[in-house]
Structure 1
Amino acid sequence: MKTISLKFRLPLFVAVVCCLSVPVRATAAVMAGTGAGICSEFVTGGGEKNESRPSGREGAVRPDRMRCEYLENPEAVDVPSPRLSWIVRTDSTVYGQCQSGWQVQVASSEELLRRGRADRWDSGRVGGDSMRVRYGGKPLRSRDACWWRVRVWDAGGRPSAWSAPAHWHMGLLGEADWQAQWIGAPGQDDGPLSPDGTEPPLPAPLLRKSFGVAPGRKVVSARVYVTGLGYFELYLNGEKVGRDVLAPNQTNYDKRPGLADCGIPVEDNFREYTVPYLAYDVTERLRSGENVIGAMLGNGFYNVRGRWTMAYGSPRLIAQLEIVYDDGSQERVVSDPTWKVAEGPVRMDQIYAGEEYDARCEQPGWCAPGFDDSAWQNAVPRRAPYGRLRAQNGPADRVMEVLKPVKVEKLGGGRYRVDFGETVSGWVRLHGVRGEAGRRIEIKYLSESPNGSNAYTMKGEGPEDYATRFTWYVFREVELSGWPGELHPGQLTAEAVYSDVETTGGFACSNPLLNRIDRIWWRTQLDNMHGAVASDCPHRERSAYTGDGQTVCATVMHRFDAAAFYSKWIGDILAAQNPDTGYVPNGAPWQPGCGGGVAWGAAICIMPWEFYLHYGDRDMLARNLDGMKGYVDYLDGWADADGVIYARAPHGREPVYWMNLGDWCPPGKLPSDTLVHTFYYWRCADIAARTARVLGDSAGAQRYGALAERVRRAFHGRFYDPGTGSYGPFGGDVFALYMGVPPERYPRVYAALRDNIRRNGGHLDTGIYGTQFLLEVLCDNGMNDLAYGIMTKRTFPSFGHWIEQGATTMWEQWDGGNSHCHPMFGACLTWLYRRVAGMESDPERPGYRHIVFRPRPVGDLTWARYAQLTSRGEASVRWERTAGGFMLEADIPAGSTATVWVPLGDGQTRADVRLSHPAGVSFVRVDETAEVRPGNGGISGDRFHRYAVYEVKGSGRYRFTSGAGITD
């Protein structure tokens, strides 16, 4: 397992906040632009000399974090020409560096690659600083192994050493490559299933197949392509294969029988249906003689029952093991009716209802050679799902952390209450428990929302271990009943389970409350990441709500390497669009019961755009532009003559309240639904226009740009009240200022928003969407003092109020109602990273190709720091102010440039700023910050509103100091 170390020079307690030691396997965000102008300008422009250039034969930059389609060494890729990417590292004391060229070599084996025989592709040296390239070698076929390495040239034209080898394997690219059949257990209904769960759930089936490897034959390769719906575990010769749990990832797998007749106003007419499959290299697991491949199937989301959900069908498996021998011959072991099947010890498993396990029903050795399966039945064929089999392209769920109890309370009568310190999503694991056969240990996961049951019945044959397999729970505390004897230390741990995303960003500041708020959001977000989608809450609903997802996605990208995660989930959102109408449902993958409205479907525009800004990936925009246009055109169908909408989703029926929400979960009242709908109508049209412009679609840019302007005018014409000078409380003025109000109205709108917050005692009054924009809108309009006040409150409604009540995760409602694990309000935390610490990617040069460092010291903060492993490399900012002055230090990755805003005190000039490394740094101007706007009385909520602005042409660590210290 790996951790990311963000290189802050911080006190220990701060390092714990910023540089969380989370066991992870990385998925990468390593997108960058093309061209070599940035580094050549610094190295040769103006005759400046790079005095810190290291000596030696190797260059000053080196490649790292190699990825294929954003995944680390993926075992199955079904993109015919996949994209390869990396980041470039250099020492922070080496200035003005970049990648001036690159070379990729791809071979069919690691041995050939190490010998320099790139039999699949050798790009040769290619000039430029692109760190994402599309494979350009020989056409790739199903099952091809591809080993690759890269070297890069620095700004002075010197090459690095070759990277360590990485690899990817091609999956099964065509239907004809699949020789296996879908199979399942006899007696499980394969027809339409009732949504209310009237059919009792059956025990999880065990499936096995014995096969032989002739003695004396050498296996050179053995790979298995497999998936099971809803969930599966794969076994070979008695051992589980891989670290994945809750596999495969969630998608719209299939058509739902009977959906049209159940009264849910969404058509089962999505753009695409897919079934993810996985591949595993099992070469080292095969043995001479008898071998056994086995699987256990869980219901997952495929056969989910109860609540507002609807099943697709009964569990099923498809598996294809392909063996290659040293003489070139091949064998296949495929799933078919010759496989044997029996009931297993998982007697009940349901995503929402929980899991029950009876160890007396175990069949020891069932997936190992020598087991007698004569009493088992033959498997039966199953209908192939409607969805197309595709290689899983998002991170798998895994056990990512193990927590020990922080408190154990004995309640008597075999009952214990155990506290693990914070709310996690996953399960508890029993270790080495001894008791008599038939003893039932019940595990109650304590939560404010329904969690499902969990029970383990002992077999009584010695130390017994157990953990849930096919669902998860949300808990800080558990209550055990039926425990045999004393609960000893080490007999119980909590396993935090979530999609394998890596924490690559960290924030800390001098205010512990802000650090704590950021930390509880971090935990909340991870608790909600399962199946490479993000849920609204991980217990009660577990639905991939698109509205929650779009509002918080920028925060996620600032804290995690979420490129693979969002590549998969954004694909789900596009796939869930109705191709005939353009409607995007309120959840993707879609589940019945997902409420929402215009802002939910807007995810199809917002999330690809935010992905592009953060990772610089034009391909993401190209894949989604048609979907963006389709959704905007869908909304346009509801517009009145002025351009204002109240959408009657999903397709012209009488308005359904739960399908047409505006904002959501405020501490008091909601703004007008029509106002919110129109705001997101404008935002989607504006993003569609910007996307078209980036992609060179001039007609689309003109059309949707004109539409966005029409809607903007309609918004201002309909919702502004001349009598109050306001667009209304509860976020109305926030939306208007984010959009941009007419200059003549600005003073009154500014005053209205400031007065509204003051009337609320300095608290917010916004729902999830208004809150997303609130803090940055306040900061950008000279009211950062109010933003800081909102974030440091400890009374209702505030994050601090939650923490005062013991919250370790964020809540759904400000008053504590409903779920206590909802990440959506964390959308506003970009204010910490982009405003307080002050590091942001320039939207005109996305993917951190150009970085803007502009700290906003506010309130009693004396220091703040933020670091991120960007798509180009490590970038960070830290600032500190004392009575003696102000210090700002910025780390700029190789190939990036930056604009640095250094705060000035009253009366200070450029002459009061000192630079640690002047080479490559150009003074631009002294700027009166835009937060002091005409009409607001020259008031700024920032302590500093004058900046010395500098342009930095190249990489390195730059320190700026001024006399702008603490003055009060």
Structure 2
Amino acid sequence: MKHREIFGEAHWLSPRSSLDAALFRSEIEIKKQIKKAEITICGLGWFILYINGKRVGVDEFVPAYSDYHGRSDLSLYYPLNDEWSHRIYVMKYDCAKYLHSGKNVVGIAVGGGYYHQTVRKAEGNMNYGEIKLCYKIDADGEVFYSNRKDVTCSPGFFKKSNLYFGETLDFSGFDRKWNTVDGTLADGEEPLEVVPPKSDFFVQDCLPDRVAETLVPELVKDFGEYSVYKIERNVSGYPVVMCELAGETVVMECAENLNDDLTLNNMSVGFNEQRQMETFITDEEKIYQPFFCWFGFRFFTLTNNARPVEIRVIHSDIDVTSAFECSDETLNWYYRTFVNTQLSNMHSGVPSDCPHRERLGYTGDGQLTCNAVMTEFDAESFYRKWIADIWDCQDKTTGHVQHTAPFAGGGGGPAGWGGAIINVPYQFYRHYGHRNELEAMFSSMEKFVEYMESRTENGMIVREEKDGWCLGDWCTPTKIEIPEELVNTTMFISQLKRLIFCAKVLGRPYDKYESLITKHSRAVTEKYFDETTGDFFNNIQGANAFAVDCGLGDERTIENIVKKYSEKTEFDTGIFGTEILLNVLYKTGNGELATRLLANKGEVSFDFMRRAGATTLWENWNGEASHSHPMFGASTEFLFEEILGIKQGKETVRYDQITIAPAFPECLGFAKGKITTPHGEVAVSWKRCGNEIEICIDLCDGINASLVAFNEKMPLTVGKNEFVLNNPVA
């Protein structure tokens, strides 16, 4: 929809000067008692709505972050000439219970969020423009529109507000009743009426952010002027604090780690340059909290003129619909920690790379983890929205896909990042089965293939944009040695196979994609396959696994993978290589080795993070940089697909047909867990009892399922299915 279709005669309003955040106040006179009332509203970047002093709803950081509209002064630190599409989300609320006949006051706080970003310029100038607001209230047919004559605007208590750097909120002398009939905006002035953003408008249907839980902080050390506090785990959200005295300046700062002397260590959240700080200048109200910021943190400092009340954990209102437990504590930790990390990185409709330093929807991180997230969370509406972001951020002429969606700069590579436009819709279809949505994306997938073909030499993908990024794997434990073109070309071959799957579903021709697979497979083999050993690029950093994963190599290639990691017993791979290596091991019947590798206790392991006390997954194996990056959590998918053995048929979707085929690794004594499919729950538990394995499968209705174990296939029925299996390996 366009502006007028959704807002009618309403005007977009902005403050008369450039502000990080502002308050808007309007008085409306309703002539009758009302039974029905609805407000359609959008504040860019984000808004909080009050009517007659009461907050409407409990949503945080709305509307959802998107590529709002074109940016006339967009500038990057690398060349980019792409053109893409844009959208803006609006919110609708039933507001009848907040309104009454007579005078009513509508108060709206608007903050910059991602929209008005003038401070963080690590990727260049990403600012969309000045904060703005538009709304329409329909009260039983009596309609009120935002316009400059009926609205006053003021900075209010906002002295500074920035998503990345925090806020300064000055309540001294401020009228806290500003959003009621008894209050005013003392320094309010008439706002500007501005041109509506040139964009498409959609009513938001993905779940908003909300307060998910509250935690109790614990004192670490009192330093005199301030104290350091901790909470039980790394989260996204913010502290709520209390100050008994008016006129005080209260300062808090959040971080993920402490130094040896128990002071805050800010390296992981912003390299000591970008600091997560909040300042309150107090009045008589006593309780204070941020408005338009969340922080990624486990520790925080607070000046001793205040004390912490609680920690509000905030993320998208997504349910965890899975469970996993086994006899290995590392794997249990890995599942719990990925869930916590992923939730900490689901904000405003975007899966982010981290909740502090960048906070961006990197297409590499997001496409890598999407299968795990769709398996473990109720994430359908969330990913439907993010697929639209990916679609928006594809150049409509060349097919190039940006490294972040919504676009906000950032580094990446052609297949690992750009390939999100194939992988995410493919996984979305496999999980939820919406053919029409796959069809809507298919031409964009094909356009991406055209782009990739324009970036090849001798069948290898060798570049992305001129003078721009072209990463292959990322965050390997040692210097990256595996060639970018090997990673990008093998991953692209796998993406072509998924595109063919989609083409078959839609009844589209796919012969040319089979020809491309042949061409690229030949190129990789000719350049990197060693006929004498069966290795690709000497099997460095998972090179053999990248090849096998897309159908290349021979028996020796797999044997060499098994030999290497049986001897090495820890990872040497990056974010893509780790998931691909484990996938290859499980799919080639090496589930024992894959599970031992996943649970290994070496220096390059998830257990290393666990032993270090981590409660979220790290960006790097050694703990450098961010301590809340979900990307290495992609392999939690194997806890369910391989250890529990819940597998979809190769050609089926929505879990209409599944097999339960656990790997039964000898290193585990038991495993149990569940997932929630569109049909309902599927639960599996198994345990070893001497030479036997007892397995119980609880199956919901609507699924055609069978148990496959030790070369036997047994049909399953709705409800509880129990078996005792003889273990031929024992």
> TM-score under structure 2 normalisation?
0.94
Contact 2:175 2:185 in 1 (8 A): no
Matches of 1:480 and 1:374 in 2, distance apart? Answer: 31
Matches of 2:559 and 2:494 in 1, distance apart? Answer: 25
Do residues 434 (structure 1) and 244 (structure 2) align? yes
In the other structure, the counterpart of 1:179 is 9
The Cα shift of 1:860 comes to 2.9
Contact 1:738 1:773 in 2 (8 A): yes
Contact 2:278 2:290 in 1 (8 A): no
In the other structure, the counterpart of 2:253 is 443
Do residues 226 (structure 1) and 56 (structure 2) align? no
Amino acid at match of 1:552: T
Do residues 475 (structure 1) and 475 (structure 2) align? no
Distance verdict in 2 for CA 1:858–1:275, change over 3 Å? same
The Cα shift of 1:495 comes to 1.0
Do residues 314 (structure 1) and 78 (structure 2) align? no
Which of 846, 849, 864 is the equivalent residue of 2:653? Answer: 846
In the other structure, the counterpart of 1:836 is 643
Matches of 2:208 and 2:15 in 1, distance apart? Answer: 26
In the other structure, the counterpart of 2:262 is none
Distance verdict in 2 for CA 1:173–1:205, change over 3 Å? closer
Instruction: Spell out the pairing of 1:907-922 with structure 2 (5 A cutoff).
Output: none
Amino acid at match of 2:138: E
The Cα shift of 1:203 comes to 5.3
In the other structure, the counterpart of 1:956 is 719
Amino acid at match of 2:249: R
Contact 1:788 1:859 in 2 (8 A): no
Matches of 2:112 and 2:685 in 1, distance apart? Answer: 49
In the other structure, the counterpart of 2:472 is 662
Do residues 720 (structure 1) and 532 (structure 2) align? no
Matches of 2:653 and 2:380 in 1, distance apart? Answer: 14
Matches of 2:199 and 2:236 in 1, distance apart? Answer: 29
In the other structure, the counterpart of 1:869 is 676
The Cα shift of 1:965 comes to 8.2
Matches of 2:689 and 2:3 in 1, distance apart? Answer: 61
The Cα shift of 1:696 comes to 1.0
Which of 110, 117, 134 is the equivalent residue of 1:304? Answer: 117
Contact 1:900 1:950 in 2 (8 A): yes
Distance verdict in 2 for CA 1:446–1:831, change over 3 Å? closer
Do residues 323 (structure 1) and 139 (structure 2) align? yes
Write the deviation string for residues 459-491 of structure 1: whole angstroms up to 9, x where unpaired: 342x5111111111111111112425xx4xxx4
Which of 565, 589, 614 is the equivalent residue of 1:757? Answer: 565
Contact 1:521 1:826 in 2 (8 A): yes
Do residues 799 (structure 1) and 606 (structure 2) align? yes
The Cα shift of 1:966 comes to 8.4
Distance verdict in 2 for CA 1:323–1:268, change over 3 Å? farther
Instruction: Spell out the pairing of 1:115-130 with structure 2 (5 A cutoff).
Output: none
In the other structure, the counterpart of 2:158 is 346
Matches of 2:4 and 2:496 in 1, distance apart? Answer: 37
Do residues 671 (structure 1) and 509 (structure 2) align? no
User: Residue 35 of structure 2: SS of its match in structure 1?
Assistant: strand
Matches of 2:167 and 2:685 in 1, distance apart? Answer: 48
In the other structure, the counterpart of 2:390 is 573
Write the deviation string for residues 685-720 of structure 1: whole angstroms up to 9, x where unpaired: 2222211110111x2x22223322332233233321
Which of 202, 206, 216 is the equivalent residue of 1:404? Answer: 216
User: Residue 541 of structure 2: SS of its match in structure 1?
Assistant: coil
In the other structure, the counterpart of 1:893 is 700
Write the deviation string for residues 657-683 of structure 1: whole angstroms up to 9, x where unpaired: xx1001101112331111111112212
The Cα shift of 1:375 comes to 4.7
Matches of 2:300 and 2:455 in 1, distance apart? Answer: 49
Matches of 1:592 and 1:437 in 2, distance apart? Answer: 41
The Cα shift of 1:453 comes to 3.7
Matches of 2:197 and 2:82 in 1, distance apart? Answer: 14
The Cα shift of 1:791 comes to 2.1
Distance verdict in 2 for CA 1:256–1:177, change over 3 Å? closer
Contact 2:177 2:184 in 1 (8 A): no
Instruction: Spell out the pairing of 1:466-865 with structure 2 (5 A cutoff).
Output: 466-484=288-306, 487=307, 491-641=308-458, 643-647=459-463, 649-650=464-465, 653=466, 655-656=467-468, 659-668=469-478, 669-697=480-508, 699=509, 701-727=510-536, 728-741=539-552, 745-746=554-555, 748-760=556-568, 762-865=569-672
Contact 1:227 1:319 in 2 (8 A): yes
Matches of 1:358 and 1:373 in 2, distance apart? Answer: 14
Aligned length: 711
Matches of 1:876 and 1:709 in 2, distance apart? Answer: 40
User: Residue 811 of structure 1: SS of its match in structure 2?
Assistant: coil
Percent identity over the alignment? 30
Distance verdict in 2 for CA 1:862–1:385, change over 3 Å? same
In the other structure, the counterpart of 1:416 is 227
User: Residue 400 of structure 1: SS of its match in structure 2?
Assistant: strand
Which of 51, 57, 60 is the equivalent residue of 1:236? Answer: 51
User: Residue 502 of structure 1: SS of its match in structure 2?
Assistant: coil
User: Residue 457 of structure 1: SS of its match in structure 2?
Assistant: strand
Amino acid at match of 2:228: R
Matches of 1:372 and 1:173 in 2, distance apart? Answer: 30
Q: Structure 1, unaligned stretches of length 5 or more? A: 1-77, 79-171, 189-201, 903-945
Q: Structure 2, unaligned stretches of length 5 or more? A: 258-267
In the other structure, the counterpart of 1:456 is 279
Contact 1:839 1:866 in 2 (8 A): no
Matches of 2:576 and 2:279 in 1, distance apart? Answer: 43
In the other structure, the counterpart of 1:282 is 95
Matches of 1:616 and 1:187 in 2, distance apart? Answer: 49
In the other structure, the counterpart of 2:80 is 266
Contact 2:229 2:300 in 1 (8 A): yes
Write the deviation string for residues 130-151 of structure 1: whole angstroms up to 9, x where unpaired: xxxxxxxxxxxxxxxxxxxxxx
Instruction: Spell out the pairing of 1:100-139 with structure 2 (5 A cutoff).
Output: none
Matches of 1:203 and 1:174 in 2, distance apart? Answer: 27
Matches of 2:208 and 2:381 in 1, distance apart? Answer: 10
Q: CA RMSD in A?
A: 2.0
Amino acid at match of 2:278: A
> TM-score under structure 1 normalisation?
0.71
Write the deviation string for residues 403-434 of structure 1: whole angstroms up to 9, x where unpaired: 112x3134142421111111001111114x30
The Cα shift of 1:538 comes to 1.2
Distance verdict in 2 for CA 1:772–1:806, change over 3 Å? same
The Cα shift of 1:373 comes to 4.7
Contact 2:353 2:365 in 1 (8 A): yes
Instruction: Spell out the pairing of 1:141-160 with structure 2 (5 A cutoff).
Output: none
The Cα shift of 1:574 comes to 0.8
Distance verdict in 2 for CA 1:492–1:370, change over 3 Å? closer
Amino acid at match of 1:471: C
Contact 1:886 1:965 in 2 (8 A): no
